[in-house]
Amino acid sequence: MDPTTFLTHSYAQIRTSASNPPGTQARTLPSPDQLATARSALPSPTNPDFLPRRGRGPAATLAHLTRDIAPGLAGHNRSGRYYGFVTGSTLPVAEAADNLVSAFDNSVQVHLPGQSISTEVEDVALRMVLRLLHLGDEEWGGRTFTTGATASNILGLACGREIAVRKRLPAGSEDDGVGELGILGACAEAGIREVQVLTSMGHSSLSKAASVVGLGRRAVKELPFSEAEPWRLDLDAVERELQREDVASIVAVSAGEVNTGRFATTGAEDMKRLRELADKYKAWIHVDGAFGIFARSLPDTDEFSGLRQSTAGLELADSITIDGHKLLNVPYDNGMFFTRQSSTLEAVFQNPNAVYLSSGGPSSIPSPLNIGLENSRRFRALPVYAVLVSEGRSGVADMLARMVRLARGVAAAIAEDPNLKDDYELLPESSTPEATHVVVLFRARDHGLNGVLVKQIQDSGEWYVSGTKWKGQPACRIAVSSWRVSVEEDLEFVKQRLARIAREWKQTTGTQGSG
């Protein structure tokens, strides 16, 4: 079979294996039998023929992949009821674009406008994202695609470290910084004994990023507003920390917090104050907006005014993390990073003395390898570009609105529905459905059921939720993030399944109330 015929056949076979019959929902997880079959089909390292001298050939290998491996994969792209983590599905146009990326296999590393349009597509896609989020594309000269929010948070802390330290260097040394002198040398010359990261319920990747950029996980300091609202950032505490002598600071704003979906700042006034403090004390503001920042793209109506207010002022930050593979529904892996000046990224990530990697002349578009972690890079921009061209501002807003409406519907049902409210509790305790973005946190009132609730849901294969903890106790977390959402149908499904779980638990255990 010639390569073109094989690829045409393979795309059709892959789509057949991934498609659902009309009117049906795919399983969110493979069954134990499917996992066992997939495992048994894998070659064993103890087998002398583990890596055979003669391969199976493309056709037999494709059959193995679609017949044995594919059924053992999770179904979050094929089901609108995968509510775990914050895991988006993939819009069809994004999947098509990603196939095109593989077909042409351009490595987007050097801006070579005479050889490929890829870097220009990337720049246009990033500008379109800024417009979508009402951030203003001219104000963010440093912009690049990453593998996801973790990589973007690494960029954010690396840039924050660079500038917060550089601002304290002696006159005449401002062009050196950490990128040239290293963290120890730059801090010694600047008279800095500590670089701290101030946050409130910051994502775990923030601590990883602090470790990677040499600050250390202990540099991340939690400054919760109160016990009742730990996701909110205590700005008075931030001010006290910024006043510490010989300490450089990065303020990391969670928008939103992964367990509750809530926001560290309450609106423009909080961000204005934070901006004034950062300017006064030479600090850097980084926003981890992986999924929450998309609240800025919701329809401009009263229905979503509270969420839009919660994200007001984020444009005052110095850098922003965004995930594409969450609410924008493009394939893994896809993240974005924005900062004010491209020169800040270049100070950290420049590839020096590599003439063979030169773009050959000045350009308004920097070579991506000089503004990010990777030299070799997948053309991640194309699926984002395809979604924004296909759906437009209103299409994306409508998709996001469906996610919010379902999440709010679930929150309202847990809090108010007579068939659910006596068996389940909406969290945090002060929550209201109106404050819900796309994350719903709750628990069963019966302690026994609460301990097995997540497993019961996951084992059903019909839907998927994440397990977490709230105030030291198990909790259940629904994150609505798929374009496949059908608000009325999915809401009724969730309500019926939660009611049935509670009813069957009472019948099995003989309990009637919380225990």
311: Cβ contacts below 8 Å, ≥ 6 apart:
255, 263, 289, 292, 293, 295, 296
Mean pLDDT over 337-354 rounds to 93
Buried b / exposed e over 241-278, threshold 16 CB at 10 Å, is bbeeeebbbbbbbbbbbbbbbbbbbbbeebbebbbebb
Mean pLDDT over 358-378 rounds to 87
- What is the rounded CA–CA span in Å between residue 466 and residue 22? 27
Query: What's the pLDDT tens digit per position in 279-303?
Result: 999 999 999 999 999 999 999 999 9
Mean pLDDT over 470-478 rounds to 96
Mean pLDDT over 333-360 rounds to 87
- What pLDDT score does 465 carry? 98
Query: What's the pLDDT tens digit per position in 120-139?
Result: 999 999 999 999 999 998 89
- Closest to 441 measured CA to CA, from 410, 467, 476: 476
Find the DSSP H helices in 42-133. Answer: 58-64, 92-104, 118-132
- What is the rounded CA–CA span in Å between residue 236 and residue 223? 9
pLDDT over 70 at 33, yes or no: yes
- What pLDDT score does 514 carry? 52
- What is the rounded CA–CA span in Å between residue 346 and residue 337? 14
pLDDT over 80 at 174, yes or no: no
For 315, the token pair is 């444009």
pLDDT band for 355, please (50, 70, 90 cuts): low
Mean pLDDT over 155-174 rounds to 93
Mean pLDDT of the chain: 95
Per residue, the 3-state secondary structure of 411-480, as one string, reads HHHHHHCCCCCCCEEEECCCCCHHHCCCEEEEEECCHHHHHHHHHHHHHHCCCEEEEEEECCEEEEEEEC
Residue in the structure block whose two tokens are 């996001």: 400
pLDDT over 60 at 47, yes or no: yes
Quick one: how far is CA 243 from the chain centroid?
32
pLDDT over 60 at 513, yes or no: no
CA triplet 498, 501, 507: central angle to 5 degrees? Answer: 140
For 140, the token pair is 């963010």
For 313, the token pair is 């002022």
Mean pLDDT over 79-95 rounds to 97
- What pLDDT score does 360 carry? 61
pLDDT over 80 at 158, yes or no: yes
pLDDT over 70 at 359, yes or no: no
In eight-state DSSP terms, residue 103 is H
- What pLDDT score does 468 carry? 97
pLDDT band for 363, please (50, 70, 90 cuts): confident
- What pLDDT score does 22 carry? 85
Mean pLDDT over 379-387 rounds to 98
pLDDT band for 512, please (50, 70, 90 cuts): low
Q: Is the pTM of this model over 0.85?
A: yes
pLDDT band for 511, please (50, 70, 90 cuts): confident
- What pLDDT score does 481 carry? 98
β-strands 284-288, 319-323 pairing: parallel
